[in-house]
Amino acid sequence: MMLRELFSKVRTPLMEGGNIWDDCEPFDQSQAPQIEAQLERYLRGTGLKVYRIGSGATPTPGVMSGDLDVMVDLDTAAQLFNEEDPKKIRIELEKYLNSKGLETKRIAVTVHVRLPFGSTCHQVDVKVVRNAANVHKFHVHEIPKGSSYKGVHKQMIMNALASSQNLLWSPDEGLYARNEQGKKADLISTDLDEIARYLIGPNASARSLGSVESIMAALPDAATRQKIYSLAAGGQSWKSAPLKGPEQKFFEAAAPTIGRKYQHIEDLVFTNGAQGGLHAVERMRYMSSQGGNIELKWDGSPVVYWGKQDGMFMMIPKNAWDYIKRGKTELANGTSVIPRSAEEVQKFLMGTGKADPDKLAQRRQYAKQLSSLWPYFEQASPEDGFIEGGLLFYPGTKPDGSPAKPILNPQTQEYEFTPNITTFHIGKNSDLGRRIRSAKVMVAATGYYPELGSSDEGRLPNAEEFSTPDTIVQGTTYAEQTPEFIDNNLDSIQNFIKENANLINNFLAPKPGLSKPGDILYKFYNQNLRIVGVKQKFIEWVGRNVSAKQAETILKDRAGLDAVLTAVELLTKAKMEMIQNLSTATHSGIRQTRPEGYVSAHPGTTFQNDLPGQFIKAIDQGAWAPRKDE
């Protein structure tokens, strides 16, 4: 049996399994041993031993299941029925159970049984596979309490581990080699300890394969975790098995010492020295050769957070969220920064900051407009935790008076909307265009937080599932083409950084009175933007923006300073080439004018100059500069 066969049963979101018989009742998992014993009474005298698998193997009292999964041995059944063909063996088992008065239904390797139990009945799914005494252990999980992942997700992670090493994992057979055609070849092992060592490393054991969490913890680094998780989660099978909760972070970048988690790609020079610059070159090469790793950076505005905590829905403006993160619960005038109603959203927006008297009416309109979106977000809310998103369109007008709703361009037959600076163009007859036709609100989901005011940012898988007919929740959108670079441009940048590595690293090394010279450069580029030619402004800027002592220290090493600024400039040129190349294309039916840019998580590949887990962004700051929300 291959991994795809795990999805032969229909599953409901409320409990594991799926009922074939309408009168089969769900049961408390604590009853699993008694239900197993009832099945064994019907099999008495056959020699078939029943092995509980899945949640029934490690039952949790109080948790309901829709069926009980068990396993019996194919070879034992073959001897019982004097039959060699696996399909015919399962047919004979079904006939035997029918002769005992049981209703059955056979699908693939499983014989489903309607099992009487007291005054009711339960569904038991009997897998008939070889070496069941050993293979059933593949389906016994140690899933942590509160985990978002099921046993099937663990199997997909194991499949990804095997595939990454040109091996093949069968949940009902074991670990196989692959032949030259990529097909199943020789069986390597059915011993779970040995399989763990093959897939993870010499120190791994069967316990390492107990859950998604234990596998991720056993992998050596963030880059490997990212690679394996992305490989598993990118397939259709993963989408067919919804998580029980929010996706967990296994490969987030470490908090940077300079800048933010998503670093501008050119900033890697002054955040990580020559190695960072060389890593930037390697990432651009990777993006130009591998698809599926470059994400559109949605230019949504304003940013809101919405979700539930302790069952209570909240919709929170970005600046309110920032207050909550800092532990502040009220404004100076006593207004709560935690809105619990649309009216409180409006009150907060009117009570924060110092509004220009000439723009008071505009602010009042903005507060009324944003608060009116409360019911849309309430209908599109997760049951626990908060989504961060940038509004793409909504009813009414934007603060500047322009339409906030999409407009159909009669010439291009595209819906167009400009939430901030970027204009998005969506074909009228595309899948997304047809949804836009009737939607009232569209928001780009950019992050997930498990608790109110949390800084623990993660990603929400399948964010689109929170969409309603009125509200489109747009999840991650990937670029559908790879960027091209002018011949030898990246080679030239790489050679420059290598030749000037000592100058770059020495300039960025801590100095008396200046522990992080990179901080000065980060401040400079934030104030002057990352555009070609900006290096010429640095000497004048540093004299006006840092202390005289720090300016003297920075300017003392002119050769090192020039090497750093030149490396950043070269990477900026390459970045702009990449952005312009990507922006001529349509991605998932989406075309952009003046795009904000693109982002990319670490792909999990081991680079020669690696920064494991490093997230990067490529932003056209000449056309797009960040602004604060109202």
Distance (Å, rounded) from C-alpha 153 to C-alpha 16? 13
| CB-based contact 500:295 (threshold 8 Å) | no
Whether residue 62 has pLDDT greater than 90: no
Distance (Å, rounded) from C-alpha 252 to C-alpha 207? 24
Exposure on the CB side of residue 508, measured as CA atoms within 13 A: 26
Please report which confidence band the pLDDT of residue 288 belongs to, taking 50, 70 and 90 as the band edges: confident
| CB-based contact 364:350 (threshold 8 Å) | yes
What is the model's pLDDT at position 625? 57
What is the model's pLDDT at position 4? 44
| 400 CB burial (10 A radius; 0-12, 13-18, 19+) | exposed
Three-class SS of residue 7?
helix
Residue with structure tokens 């619960």? 329
What superfamily would CATH give domain 3-139?
Beta Polymerase, domain 2 (3.30.460.10)
Tokens of 482: 């790879």
Q: Where in the chain are all domains bearing CATH 3.30.460.10? A: 3-139
pLDDT tens per residue, range 215-231:
887 887 666 787 898 88
| CB-based contact 195:130 (threshold 8 Å) | no
Residues 6+ apart with CB under 8 A from 240: 7
What is the model's pLDDT at position 222? 64
Whether residue 302 has a cis bond before it, omega within 30° of 0 = yes
pTM summary value: 0.58
DSSP states of 503-551: HHHHHHS-BTTBS-HHHHHHHHHHHH-S-TTGGGGHHHHHHHHS-HHHH
Please report which confidence band the pLDDT of residue 13 belongs to, taking 50, 70 and 90 as the band edges: very low
What is the model's pLDDT at position 213? 86
Distance (Å, rounded) from C-alpha 373 to C-alpha 446? 18
Tokens of 387: 């989504």
pLDDT tens per residue, range 69-97:
999 999 999 999 999 999 999 999 999 99
pLDDT tens per residue, range 143-198:
877 788 989 999 999 999 999 999 999 998 999 999 888 889 999 999 999 999 99
DSSP states of 21-63: STTPPPEEGGGHHHHHHHHHHHTTTS-PPPEE-GGGGS--TT-
DSSP code for 397? B
pLDDT tens per residue, range 362-421:
888 889 999 999 999 999 999 989 999 999 999 998 888 889 999 999 999 999 999 998
Checking 89-96 for CB contacts under 8 A at 24+ apart, the result is 89/128, 90/128, 93/126, 93/128, 96/46
Residues 6+ apart with CB under 8 A from 401: none
